[in-house]
Amino acid sequence: MEDFDWTSFTKKIAIKANRSDIYNAWTIANELDKWFLEKVSFFDANQEPISKGKNVSEGNTYEWLWHLYKDGMNGKITSANGEDYLQFTFEGNCLVDIKLSETNGYTIVELHQHNIPTDDNSKKFIRLGCSNGWHFYLTNLKSVYEGGLDLRNKDENLDPMINN
């Protein structure tokens, strides 16, 4: 495990959907809650709420809450070009880059999470935990935008599973 990169990882998935729809899936609160989160709130520089139907932009902040988890996450949109690139803070000072490209009728989503600390807790919960989490949520993004089926477990009577 000496040569294992604990500081970053990359995930890619091809989705049969328009690039603009997938960009909106990441940058509009009403779209993020379809495949990723239970509650999405974005705020402008004055900490005023941004409309649930409006794209976020650089400098906006967020509060996110997942289904079946009580602890939310706060972060900042560090870059958003309105077309094919988004970067946001995640799990503290980590960064997540979302790059979108088009190939043969697919939108390719490339997610790169980096700047991960190398203490044991971060290795376990951020590097390994987030990698597994993003694997599921990118699969759910594909499922929702290609066929409409949300794969998330939202039943609080069930123990945590791979789909929550």
Cα 18 from Cα 77, distance rounded (Å): 22
Q: Would you give per-residue pLDDT tens digits along the chain (164 residues)?
A: 678 999 999 999 999 999 999 999 999 999 999 999 999 999 999 999 999 999 999 999 999 998 877 889 999 999 999 999 999 999 999 999 999 999 999 999 999 999 999 999 999 999 999 999 999 999 999 999 999 999 998 888 887 778 87
Structure tokens at 100: 């979108």
Token couple for 84: 């094919």
The pTM score is 0.95
Q: Tell me the C-alpha distance between 156 and 36, whole Å.
A: 17
**Distance between CA atoms of residues 128 and 130, nearest Å:** 6
Q: Which residues of 114-126 are buried (b: 16+ CB within 10 A; e: fewer)?
A: eebbeeeebbeeb
- Are 32 and 24 spatial neighbours (Cβ–Cβ below 8 Å)? no
- DSSP states along 14-75: EESS-HHHHHHHHHBHHHHHHHT-SEEEEE-TTSPBPPTTSB--TT-EEEEE-TT-S--EEE
The pLDDT value recorded for residue 161 is: 79
Neighbouring CB atoms inside 10 A of 14's CB total 15
